[in-house]
Amino acid sequence: MSGTVEEIEEHIAAGRPTMLYFSSQPVAMDTVEIEQIQRLKKFKEACQSRGLYQSYDSHSDFKDKFYRHLQLKINENALFETDDDDTTHREIIESRTQLPSLSAEGRALLKEASKDPGGIIIYARYLGGTTIQTNGKNLIPSDERREVAKWEDALAQLNSNGLITDRGYKGEVYEITNLGYQVADMIVL
């Protein structure tokens, strides 16, 4: 343990953010050395006087404390501090994700698919017609072949631009991709 203590002390001395967590779960005493427990207790007391550690009772307690403390540490970091007296303007970097050229139907289909909990689009052809469904809706308003062709083209546009990916056996099920979600977020209907 002494090597670990030295590494932690060097880390602290270098001014790096430090967060230590100790479990307060009971330990079977016959599985540990008494000397190690005494050194650990001494180390914990030294850390406690400097406000460096927290104890936790369970995995969920650790998760909650770590998440909260990490947010505080990040907010304290100089990288995220702003100087109100700073008159220089920071350069705004625009997204490198380009909005592909999509038809109105393509944009509507992608936007609606991004709202579907599973990001799924179902394309089905049957004797009674054709449907393109997502988010609980059939997007093809009529069975007129001209209308159906527009929506089939929209599906092909999304697929060819990598905004959706084919997950079905015969092109009947599609799933929105990460790029698809990014582009959908930029679309305003």
Q: Which of 115, 117, 118 is nearest to 174 (CA)?
A: 118
Q: What are the pLDDT digits (tens) for 85-140? A: 555 555 656 556 567 889 999 999 999 999 999 999 999 998 888 999 999 999 99
Residue with tokens 């303007």: 89
Which pLDDT does position 126 carry in this prediction? 87
Which pLDDT does position 48 carry in this prediction? 74
Yes or no: say if 149 and 156 are a contact pair by the CB < 8 Å rule.
no
Backbone angles phi, psi at 128, to 5 degrees: -85, -5
Q: 104-186, which class in CATH? A: mainly alpha
Across the range 139-148, mean pLDDT stands at 91
Between 87 and 41, the more confident residue is: 41
Report the chain's mean pLDDT, rounded to a whole number. Answer: 83
- Where do the structural domains in the chain lie, given as residue ranges? 2-80, 104-186
Which pLDDT does position 118 carry in this prediction? 93
